[in-house]
Each structure stands twice: as structure tokens, then as C-alpha cells.
Structure 1
């Protein structure tokens, strides 16, 4: 058994003010209540919210504050993510950092798939994030929309990642779909998924922890939540060797595949269909994009009231009156009913000879004793 305790913090995030002090306060409370926690993960963009106007330089005081907090509590700390601006080209990246218990930043990861077209102006990262926790196992990091592209997790799991840390900021109606993807990712790549969402400007909650069999070990509601949970990385290793419940060994099957996928060769032409889908842009009101047949709305014609007459919408024209036709013979179909006196019921005649008296113990008409 290889146990390791990870806690997610689902907290309310403000969009127009710093949330750093609130994060530190919740971290102190968490470590006081659950001192056995070894790693803490916050939601995407938790420190300053979803507006890139608060982008910071790569080296800044906020990161130093988080480094001090990790050292204070002797924990691995991933403080969600924050917008960092490259001083050379001015591009802004949605960046997460991994801080070890010594307070050192050991990895930086820039989100590979910004939520375009809605996250316009955010640059995409190109490097994967993999790191080892000594004597525990290998961890990987992806941010929110990254997980919608299974190639990202395929790359991480092929490099030996056993636990996928996934800070998200989802406040939209697709959160349930995202939870389904989290479960599918866990079982498809036989790893743990630690998925932490925020509240308020940081999302609608429903954070979750999923094990390699796709079982949900914990799911938050729509309120603040701090959820430490102990996972067992030996379960990952066992399942990757023998399959989920002794069944599918998907990583081995992919390793032993008999084909490579030309879709990943941009020069193969296999993805020609994708070029017919139009630009990546926000839909506009009344958009008919993707509808190949433009059929205008049609008014259903009114049906004539009766044969020989034109249609009259709403029957605005006067309608003919119908009078009942009199019967030629008012007595037709009727018959006189005569009353009859009920027939007399004949009286039942009495027996000419009454039944003879039978003495007890004798057979009737014989005088012989009965056998009873």
C-alpha cells in the first residue's frame, strides 16, 4: 500500500479583488483540522479570479507568499493558477506552479487549451507538467479545458503519471459533462483524478475525487468545502498490470497497438473535414452555423371550413345556419306499448299422502334398524 493524503479546497472566489488572504486562511484551518494532509490543491485562477487584467510577472510577491505557506505547513501546494505575463513578448499565460514542502517552485505549467473563443487573448502553453513525490509516486497537472482533450492525459499517463491534479474554473452549464469526463479519464488512463472547482466568480463547485475504477470517492456540492482524502497509489499500479477488476488493460493495449493515427500528422490530410467547420468564434444571435439547409419559417395554410368554400382564418365570415330537418312521420320508429296483467302463478299442489313419521334408529318404510 502506498498511501498519500491530498486535500482540495473549494472556496468562493472574487473577480475584482485578491483572494490570496482567504486562501491562506483556509489553508491554516485545513491544516489545523487535518494535520495529516500532505498536498493541497486550489481551483483554477483562485488567487485573483478570471480577469487577465490582474496578470503578474513570472516572479512576484504572491508566489513568494505561497512558497512560505508550503514551507510553514510542510506540504506540497498547488495554489490553483494565475495569469502570468511574459516580459519578453507580453503574452499572458494561465499558469500553475507546484511548490514542494521546502517552499521551492519545482514546476510551472501553462494551460495548453485556453477555453477559446471565450478566453481570447490567453496564450497556450506547450510543455507538459510531470513531477515525482519521493517514495510516493508520479503526479501530473492539467488545467480545466485541457482534460477535454484526451491526448493531454494520454501523454501524461504514458510518462507514468498516476495522479492527475486538475484545477478548474467552470461556472457554466457544461459542468455535469465535465464531471463525466473526469470519471472517464480516470478509468481510461487508470489513474486518480483530483478535480477542484471554485465558487462565485470561480465556478459552481461540484469538485470531485475519482479513483482508477471511475468510482467517485468524494463530490462536493455548491458550498465551500475542504476535503482531504487518502489515496492509494498501489491501486493504480495493480490495475495497470492486471486491468480494472481483472479486465481491460488499456495502457498495455495502447502500447501494443497495431496502428498509428494519421490524424496527428498535420500533413496527412486526414483532418480535412475539420477545416470545413468554420472559424473558432463566439456564436451570434440567430446564428444558423452548421445548418446545411436554410429553410425559412412557413405559415401553415388554413383549411377550408367545408368543401366548396374558401378558407376563412378564424372563421371571420358568417357561417350558414343548419336547422334540423322534420321527420316525415313523427311516430316513425315508435310502437304502442300495451300493458298486460302478469300471468297467475299456479299453486303448488300439496302431497296427497303426507310423509310417514320415521322413528329414530329405523330405516324409513322398513322398520329395520339403521346402521348409523
Structure 2
């Protein structure tokens, strides 16, 4: 049987709403030294500086280049959470993906900013998947994207077997997000690596879920380094044989002749139209 195991460390760090670059670089290095078998390190959303579009930089930025040097020196894949990217007059919430040569192989712009709260942030328009040679295909989404099932389904449609999902949640709905992660993993028969921050930036409780909905690890609310090993051949088996030998969800989705009216060009929902404007509740 082909061996497609892959070591990842998710860093749930206690972070302030401040410049955290040096702290992040130190923790990345320390993690690789402590767990030399780890091949990828993943940080939480907006780990670099926290919220605030005033922090936006054009990419590549000096901070992104520092992450690239770290990835090259340590010989790891690095997903350094996300950062605000300035592009012309727009600002995006962007996650770079850096390979072990220190090259940015892709940048994912969050498709669903947390509106109406994440103000001044534009929506990205493209999905990102990337291949780790001899291992498998990975996809990226950010925080609020997960609340829209179409985003996860699109990534698996594009071949993703693992979804890297930096998040930054400091609110009461973290328990609900954990339910979404588990449901998304089992209905898409994939691994999901959901990394939250702790401290001032978040309430922790990062979670790693496998393709049968199994919890690989659920973190506490405190700082944790979470090293684990994925088995991507398990994704192949589950998709082929069905979840616990039962539902072959992706095959059924592929084969159904059903027509979804919400995806018609210029589709309008009278029910949704009655919901009113997207604004902060008063």
C-alpha cells in the first residue's frame, strides 16, 4: 500500500493585537526543532498583527519574505495564518502558502470577509489548491468561509484531500464552528486543519478532523502546539468505500442529475430578498 503520511504542526499561540513577527518566527523554529518529523507548520488567521486594515501591506512584504526565509532554512511548508494585503485601493485578508524552498506557491484571498464586522476588507474571487509532491492535494480557506458549505465543496471538487483553515475567533460561537468543521470534514470526506489563536486574539479550541468526521485533536483554550500525522491514503479509502463503509458522498454528488436553482445565472431568491440589508444589529 502506498504511504502518503504527512506531519503537520498547528500552532495555537497566545497572541496580542500587536506586531507578532519575531514571536511567530521563534515559535516556528522551536516547533521544527522539537518535532523534526513535521513537514508543515500552520498558524492562525491574522496572527501577524491582529485585526485592522491599517496593517495592510502590498505582497510580497518584508514580513512575508521573513516567513519565506524561515521555511527555506527549516525545509518546511509554511502557512503563516493570514495577513491584510493591500492591492491598489482594495484590502484583502490573504493567506500565503510557502514551500520548503521558500517560494510562495499561492496566495488565497478570503472569499467571505466577516461582514458587517470585518469592514474595509474586499472579497477574494478564486479558490486555492496546491500539491505537496508524493503526498496529495491541499486547499485553503479562512475562518468565515467555512460557514458557506459551497467553499469546502469547491475545494474538494478541485481535488483537495486536506483543507488548511486558519481562523481567528474570540466570540461565543466557537462551539458552533467546531460543529461546522466536523460536518464539513465528513460530508466532504477530507481532513480539515482548523487553527484558532489564543490569548487576546482568540478563544483557542483549534480542531483537527479526519475524513470520517473523527476528531484527531481538539485543543484547550490555552496555548498549544499540535503536532499530528495525516494519512492521505485514508482519504482515498473513505472516498472509495464510503464513510464507515457506508455513504459515498462525493460520488453521489458527482453523479446526481439534480439542478440547483440558486446557481442559475442572475438567480434571485424572493425569500432571501426579504432578509433586509447586511448590517450590524442595533
- Relative to the length of structure 2, the TM-score reads 0.97
Q: Which moved more, 1:24-33 or 1:74-83?
A: 24-33
Aligned partner of 1:288 in structure 2 is: none
Question: Which structure has the larger Rg?
Answer: 1
What are the superposed Cα offsets for residues 158-186 of structure 1, whole Å, 9 maximum, x if unpaired? 11100000000001000000000000010
What are the superposed Cα offsets for residues 58-94 of structure 1, whole Å, 9 maximum, x if unpaired? 22110110000000110000000000111x3x11100
Q: How many residue pairs are counted as aligned between the two chains?
A: 280
Aligned partner of 1:13 in structure 2 is: 15
Change (3 A) 1:257 1:121: same
User: Structure 2: how far apart are the matches of 1:267 and 1:119?
Assistant: 26
Aligned partner of 2:184 in structure 1 is: 185
Aligned partner of 1:108 in structure 2 is: 107
1:32-47 to structure 2, matched below 5 A, reads 32-47=33-48
What are the superposed Cα offsets for residues 75-126 of structure 1, whole Å, 9 maximum, x if unpaired? 000000000111x3x1110000000000000000100000000111110000
In the TM superposition, residue 221 of structure 1 has moved relative to its aligned partner by 0.4
1:348-359 to structure 2, matched below 5 A, reads none
Aligned partner of 2:155 in structure 1 is: 156
Q: Is the 8 A contact 2:77 2:97 kept in 1?
A: yes
Aligned partner of 1:82 in structure 2 is: 83
1:246 counterpart SS class: coil
Aligned partner of 1:118 in structure 2 is: 117
Q: Is the 8 A contact 2:199 2:222 kept in 1?
A: no
In the TM superposition, residue 201 of structure 1 has moved relative to its aligned partner by 3.2
Aligned partner of 2:140 in structure 1 is: 141
2:27 counterpart SS class: helix
1:44-55 to structure 2, matched below 5 A, reads 44-55=45-56
- Runs in 1 of length 4+ with deviation above 2 angstroms? 266-269
Q: Is the 8 A contact 2:167 2:196 kept in 1?
A: yes
Aligned partner of 2:27 in structure 1 is: 26
In the TM superposition, residue 266 of structure 1 has moved relative to its aligned partner by 4.6
1:280-359 to structure 2, matched below 5 A, reads 280-284=278-282
Aligned partner of 1:264 in structure 2 is: 263
In the TM superposition, residue 265 of structure 1 has moved relative to its aligned partner by 1.6
2:244 counterpart SS class: helix
1:244 counterpart SS class: coil
In the TM superposition, residue 133 of structure 1 has moved relative to its aligned partner by 0.2
In the TM superposition, residue 258 of structure 1 has moved relative to its aligned partner by 2.0
Q: Is the 8 A contact 1:50 1:201 kept in 2?
A: no
- Structure with the greater relative contact order (CA < 8 A, sep ≥ 6): 1 or 2? 2
1:217 counterpart SS class: strand
Q: Is the 8 A contact 1:44 1:202 kept in 2?
A: no
Aligned partner of 1:60 in structure 2 is: 61
RMSD of aligned residue pairs (Cα, Å): 0.9
Where do 5+ consecutive residues of structure 1 fail to align? Answer: 285-372
Aligned partner of 1:305 in structure 2 is: none
In the TM superposition, residue 53 of structure 1 has moved relative to its aligned partner by 1.3
